[in-house]
Chains A and B, each alone.
Chain A
Amino acid sequence: MKLQLRYLLMAGLVSTAVQAADNQDATLIAKGEYLARAGDCTACHSIAGGKEFGGGLAIASPMGVIYSTNISPDPEAGIGKYTEQEFADAVRKGIRRDGKHLYPAMPYPDYRGITDEDIHALYVYFMKGVKPVAEKAPETSLMFPFSQRWGMWFWNVAFTEDKPFAPRHSVPDDINRGKYLVETLGHCGSCHTPRGIGMQEKALNESSDKYLAGGELNGWPVPSLRGMPTWSIQNITDYLATGRNDFASVGGEMTGVVEHSMQHMNDQDLHAIAAYLKSLPADTPVINRRADAEQETKKTADYLTQGHNLNAGQMLYMNNCEACHWTDGNGAKGIFPRLNGGDVVIADNPTGLINIILQGAQTPSTPKAPSVMAMPGFASRLSDEQVAQLATFVRSGWSNNAPAVTPKEVTKVRESLAKP
């Protein structure tokens, strides 16, 4: 009997498409694939269970639903007919092959700074390394006046910069590599930079202190990434690679970013991103913590342990959360996030916390941390009033000192979740 060991031989190869290509192409394709991951192209241009880069993802915007396009090399349904220049213009300027404008749901204002060299690798990858998908993605048809794509010309003039990436002088290469990844492919600003009146990112690079200063997105408070004073470079790197670190786990939109993009990046690049973020001057942090953290933590933990005369919020905590997050609110290192001093917990804006209580969260399975660990959502178990009581306790127990949460705020989040 002969064993079929062909799989051993195939393990080292990326795909059959690669086999046909020559070595130079293979290197470029691999590089392009890596850059496409860094740019998180899959997240928007594929749907769950659909073919990769076939498009069709519905992106809700205030103007209506925008469908992502097919960017596979199919000549009819995809971008197979694009020349490299046309491809570059679409990615960097938001201009389609037919000259029409893309909507900035596609983060071309961020991609503007992608180098020619990287554009070339991306082009080779999308033309030769991606399987063509023959199905067309649904057409985007926004209401008037947004249906008039030419109008985007004015938007682009007003809100984008036609400048290449500018490295910072006299800093280590590591930081400039991080700056490049964050500003361009990573398009971190599209979530983490506050938006202006025209929905534009208020800053596209570090020249403004608005850049990466956080804000709100689809009801979630988005943390500032400037300097990240309470996180170390290692904490950030772990979080990006695995969706978790010693004290926090990923939730909301960022879950997909880790799953589709960041977990595939190499240690050096993740480290560079972390180093760059740490190099930005920090905002003045809002301090929703008590000064005597240790003593206050002990006070709450002792009180919960005694278990006498607990108020509604404390009782809800004991019955729903304590099993994993413990009486001291410190969770379990690397597994259950810390509530005591947790960034999402004590943020000024409580909607992120409310969101997680209602919906739960789940870590992605990454090569460095395969475990899929889920926090259940409590939407079906707790009323708005109970969620408010629970959130209020969690935000004020231990060392935490964040404002209370009202049932109205919970109702608002619950309603936003009910929408398709």
Chain B
Amino acid sequence: MKKINDAVDVIIVGLGWAGSIMGIELAQAGLKVRALERGEDRLNSDYAYPKPADELAFTKRHKIMQSPHDAAFTIRHNASETALPMRELGAFRLGDGVGGAGLHWTGMITRPTPVDLKMKTYADEHFKRGELDEELRIADFPVSWEEIEPHMDFFDKVCGSSGETGNLRGVIQQGGDPFEGARSNPFPNKPLEDSLNATLFRQATQEMGLHPYSMPSAAVSVPYTNPYGQQIAPCNYCGFCQFYSCLNYSKASPQTAILDRLKQFNNFDYKTRANVIRVEKHADGKTATGVTYIDENGDEVFQPASIVILSTFGLNNVRLLLNSSIGKPYNPITEEGVIGRNYTHQYGGGFTLFFDNLEFNPFATAGPTGTVISDYGTGNVETAQLGFIGGAKIYSSQPTGTPMAAAIKKGAPSWGSGWKKALKESYGHSMGVKLEGSNMATRGNYLDLDPVYKDRFGMPLLRVTYDYVQNDLRMLQYMKEKMEAITKHLNPTQYSHNILKMDSHFASSPNYVNTHNAGGAIMGDNPRTSALNRYLQSWDVHNLFVMGANAFPQNFYANPSAMVAGLAYWSAKAIREQYLKNPGPLVQA
């Protein structure tokens, strides 16, 4: 028989960044809040020095990542292929457990730009009809820069973001990113120190007339106390960020920035190993009554709640919506339906430069150390003549010093003693010039439920139908030229690159690209083309709010966390100030 928990005001599904933000914002409002987390509890003390300094466990064996055992994805390039399950999460890697992706992220806290938020408007203004590929499905975010910026600003304070301000209330600042959207406040902390590669990149791009600035970092540069009273320690450049929980309390994570404060609220609690399989709806279909989860004993439990917040990873949010029959699934042929549309990933790649005579000290680094240029970001260069819309940031970072991940010179064997010899010779002598590129949504890239494969609870897996977008591949060829120019200016002994070609196709594994999945349950002004309104409220079920990058109509070239967190604060404000007084749809369609 199904168990039933005591009712709560708010149930939060997934306790990562978004779940923690919603948790503290709504607990502060006095509501009884409970979070359900599928994975394990994760405490800072579990990752005390030197436990995380283990490349095999964390990078190679994905110790704090979602395992395909819990939920794999099936993948195909287009609707004519049969999707197969990912046996290893390669091209993207999701977080798992308390803290979610916020525990293992690299800590690059880059924001989108005002242009990114109004892409459709920008496209209409800068491209003639027919200049852009027909398959693109560009849309505006239904929020303005002025609306969302204060919330990203608050998140910067929560994280203790360290960086150089480029645009303070409309006034361009020396040394920062002149292309960034206006900030209401400067970065709370000074930037991290440059490592050698960052210094070289800064110097080269400056000489070329470009505008380098320090990577905005959520690994703080100085001892810091955030607005919740949580203390974040100064980064010691240990080299274990991406895929690792910070052993030094330096990288902002739900653990270091929110959870210890949140746990002090008597009206908040959380359960781990609680695998939510479905949102339950009232008979009229207009409201949710709570969620059903499988507990650690394998028992089915119903958790009644007045408000349901989905804050699992974006892909998992989409899957939960589909498995709960909330919103109409997207059909790529008729283009009807909203759940699953506009799925996007993000482009990585870059040049590896070898310098025989330079020592880069790969261990003296933090995930977000590095210097960046946004000169080729969306809207910062006219691209109508070049046949693409979008852009990239180009940067040199040194996110980890771990030897298994180190670059090796061309021509070396990929295993055995020859590989080891080459690794020894190459280690510490290379730097990267990398890109992170925008990804436009298309008609044919989407998410739905797999008709064949199910998880261990009998729930269908999420099927990802995705291939690279021609518009974007053209963008990458343009970026490649720009990167090659920077590379040549740096004058290395030898270099190589792995930028996608025009005929490249998406490979889901084994190589990691990034975890910046977006779309699938997007926000918009029109319930026929979006799943969520501007407050991330479901158009169909008004007491259901969905947090995550699933809300992005297309993917920009920045890292998603700042925007995901900004949107969560924005949504929490709407719930507190509008929804609680008058529960119902916050936007009339």
Q: When chains A and B are docked, how far (Å) is the Cα of A324 from the Cα of B250?
A: 10
Query: B538 at the A/B interface (Cβ < 8 Å)?
Result: no
Specify which chain A residues have a CB less than 8 angstroms from the CB of B228 in the assembled complex.
Answer: 370
Question: Are B583 and A365 interface neighbours, CB within 8 A?
Answer: no
Q: Write out the residue numbers on chain A whose beta carbons fall within 8 Å of the beta carbon of B225.
A: 334
A1, B281: Cα distance in complex, Å: 13
B305 — nearest CB in chain A belongs to which residue? A4
Q: Is B517 an interface residue (CB 8 A)?
A: no
Q: Within the assembled complex, what's the spacing in Å between the Cα atoms of A375 and B228?
A: 22
Chain A neighbourhood of B583, CB < 8 A: 1-3
CA distance A7 to B268 in the complex (A): 11
Q: Please report the total number of A residues contacting B with Cβ < 8 Å.
A: 31
Interface flag for B402 (CB, 8 Å): no
Are B48 and A376 in contact, with the CB atoms below 8 A? yes
Q: Complex: how many Å from CA A333 to CA B31?
A: 35
Pair A335/B223 contact, Cβ less than 8 Å: yes
Interface string of A3-22 (1 = CB under 8 A from B): 11101100100000000000
Question: Would B45 and A369 count as touching, CB distance under 8 A?
Answer: no
Q: Of the listed stretches B71-79, B194-202, B229-237, name the one at the interface; the rest are far from the partner chain.
A: B229-237
Residue interface mask A367-403, B partner, CB < 8 A = 1 = 1111111111000000000000000000000000000
Are the C-beta atoms of A1 and B30 separated by less than 8 Å?
no
Expressed in whole angstroms, the minimum distance between the Cβ of A221 and any Cβ of chain B is: 25
Q: How far is the CB of A81 from chain B (nearest CB, A)?
A: 32
- Contact bitstring B30-43, A, C-beta under 8 A = 1, else 0: 11100000000001
Contact B230–A371 (Cβ < 8 Å) = yes
Residues on the B chain within 8 Å of A334, using CB: 223, 225, 231
When the two chains form their complex, are residues B233 and A324 in contact, meaning their CB atoms are under 8 A apart? yes
Given A5-B31, A362-B45, A374-B44, A324-B229 contact (CB < 8 Å):
no
- The prevalent SS among residues of A at the interface is loop
Which residues of chain B are near A11, meaning CB under 8 Å?
A: 30, 267
| Known interface pairs A3-B583, A11-B267; A371-B30 also in contact (CB < 8 Å) | no
Contact A324 to B49, CB < 8 A, known contacts A11-B267, A365-B264, A371-B256: yes
Task: Determine the chain A residues whose CB is within 8 A of the CB of B307 once the complex forms.
Answer: 3
Taking a contact as CB atoms under 8 Å apart, the answer to whether B267 and A370 are in contact is: no
**Interface presence of B9 (CB below 8 A):** yes
Asked whether B49 lies within 8 Å of A323 as measured between CB atoms, the reply is yes
In the bound complex, CA of A335 to CA of B235 (Å): 12
What separation, in Å, do the CA atoms of A309 and B249 have in the docked complex? 31
Closest approach, in angstroms, between the C-beta of B361 and any C-beta of chain A? Answer: 12
Q: In the complex, how many angstroms separate the beta carbon of A2 from the nearest chain B beta carbon?
A: 8
Question: With A3-B306, A4-B32 in contact, do A374 and B45 touch (Cβ < 8 Å)?
Answer: yes
B484 part of interface (Cβ distance < 8 Å):
no
A4, A323, A335, A369: the one contacting B9 at CB < 8 Å is A4
Which one of A322, A324, A326, A371 contacts B231 once the chains associate, using CB atoms below 8 Å?
A: A371
**A323 contacts across to B, CB distance below 8 A:** 49, 236, 238, 247-248
- Counting CB contacts under 8 A, is B540 at the interface? no
Q: Is A336 an interface residue (CB 8 A)?
A: yes
Q: Mark A327-364, 1 if CB is under 8 A from B, else 0.
A: 00000111110000000000000000000000010100
User: Could you say which of B30, B48, B234, B263 contacts A374, with CB atoms under 8 Å apart?
Assistant: B48
In A1-59, the 8 Å CB interface with B consists of 1-5, 7-8, 11
Determine whether B161 belongs to the interface, using a CB cutoff of 8 Å to chain A: no
Nearest B residue to A4 by beta-carbon distance? Answer: B9
**Closest residue of B by beta carbon distance from A377:** B48
Cα A326 to Cα B249 in complex, Å, equals 14
B295 sits at the interface (CB 8 A): no
CB closest chain-B residue, reference A367 = B264
Tell me which residues across on chain A come within 8 A of B236, comparing CB atoms: 322-324, 326
* A323→B307 CA distance, assembly (Å): 43
Chain A residue with Cβ nearest B584 = A1
> Does any Cβ of A come within 8 Å of B342's Cβ?
no
Q: Does B7 touch A at the CB level, under 8 Å?
A: yes
- How far apart sit A24 and B386, CA to CA, in the bound complex (Å)? 80
- A4 B233 Cβ-Cβ under 8 A: no
Choose from A4, A8, A360, A369 the contact partner of B48 (Cβ within 8 Å).
A360
Contact of B4 with A by CB under 8 A: no
Q: Shortest distance in angstroms between B542's beta carbon and chain A's nearest beta carbon?
A: 8
Of the candidates B44, B260, B264, B580, the one having the most CB atoms from chain A within 10 angstroms of its own CB is B260
Within 8 A of A (CB), among B194-233: 223, 225, 228-231, 233
Residues of B in contact, count (CB < 8 Å) = 37
| Contacting pair A371 B260 (CB below 8 A) | yes
B48 close to A333 (CB less than 8 A): no
Q: Give Cα A56–Cα B383 distance, bound, in whole angstroms.
A: 75
Bound together, the chains give a CA A174 to CA B88 distance in angstroms of 65
Q: Does B378 contact A (CB under 8 A)?
A: no
Q: Within the assembled complex, what's the spacing in Å between the Cα atoms of A320 and B248?
A: 12
Q: How far, in whole Å, are A372 and B580 apart by their CA atoms in the complex?
A: 33
Residues of chain A within 8 A (CB-CB) of B231 are 334-335, 369, 371, 373
Nearest-neighbor residue (CB-CB) of B247 within chain A: A323
Question: Smallest CB–CB gap between B306 and chain A, Å?
Answer: 5
- Interface contact B9-A336, CB-CB below 8 Å: no
Expressed in whole angstroms, the Cα–Cα distance for A239 and B369 within the complex equals 34
Decide: B45 and A372 in contact? CB cutoff 8 A. yes
State the CA gap A11–B247 with chains docked (Å).
Answer: 36
* B352 at the A interface (CB under 8 A): no
A322 proximity list for chain B (CB < 8 A) = 236
- B264: contacting residue among A5, A370, A376, CB under 8 A: A370
Q: Which of A1, A2, A336 is the one whose CB lies under 8 Å from B233?
A: A336
Across-interface contacts of A7 in B (CB, < 8 A): 9, 30-32, 267
* Cα(A376)–Cα(B46), bound, Å: 9
Is the CB–CB distance between A335 and B233 below 8 Å? Answer: yes
By beta carbon, the residue of chain A nearest B307 is A3
Contact of A3 among B48, B230, B248, B580 (CB under 8 A): B580
**Cβ-defined partner of B249 (8 Å) among A1, A4, A369, A373:** A373
Query: Which of chain B's residues have a CB closer than 8 A to the CB of A375?
Result: 48
B371 at the interface (CB under 8 A from A): no
Nearest-neighbour CB distance to chain B for A330, whole angstroms, equals 11
Minimal Cβ-Cβ distance residue in A for B223? A332
A367: chain B residues at CB < 8 Å are 229, 264
Query: With a CB–CB cut-off of 8 A, which chain A residues contact B30?
Result: 5, 7-8, 11
Q: Which residues of A contact B9 (CB under 8 A)?
A: 3-5, 7
Q: List the A side residues contacting B50 at CB < 8 Å.
A: 320, 376
A11 to B268 alpha-carbon distance, docked (Å): 12
B282-326 interface with A by 8 A CB criterion: 287, 306-307
Residue B508 interfacial (CB < 8 Å): no
Taken together as a complex, chains A and B put the C-alpha atoms of A365 and B44 apart, in Å, by 13
- Contact between B44 and A373 (Cβ–Cβ < 8 Å)? yes
Q: How far apart are the CA atoms of A374 and B48 in the complex, in Å?
A: 7
Give the chain B neighbours of A376 by CB distance below 8 A: 45, 48-51
Q: Which of B172-214 contact A (CB under 8 A)?
A: none
Question: For B44, what are the chain A residues with a Cβ–Cβ distance below 8 Å?
Answer: 372-374
- Kindly report which residue of chain A lies nearest to residue B583, judged by CB atoms: A1
Question: Are A371 and B249 also in contact (CB < 8 A) when A8-B30, A335-B231, A336-B233 are?
Answer: yes
Residues of A within 8 A of B48 (CB): 360, 374-376
Q: What 0/1 pattern do residues 285 to 325 of A give for CB contact below 8 A with B?
A: 00000000000000000000000000000000000101110
* B234: A residues at CB distance < 8 A: 332, 335
Contacts of B287 in A (CB 8 A): 1
Measured CA separation A335–B225 after assembly (Å): 10
Task: Enumerate chain B interface residues (CB-CB to A < 8 A).
Answer: 7, 9, 30-32, 43-45, 48-51, 223, 225, 228-231, 233-234, 236, 238, 247-249, 256, 260-261, 263-264, 267, 287, 306-307, 543, 580, 583
Give 17 A-B contacts (CB < 8 Å), ordered by A residue: A5-B31, A7-B9, A7-B31, A7-B32, A8-B31, A323-B236, A324-B49, A326-B236, A332-B234, A333-B223, A370-B263, A370-B264, A371-B256, A372-B260, A373-B44, A373-B233, A376-B49
Q: What 6 pairs across the A-B complex have the smallest Cβ distances?
A: A376-B48, A374-B45, A8-B30, A370-B260, A370-B261, A332-B223
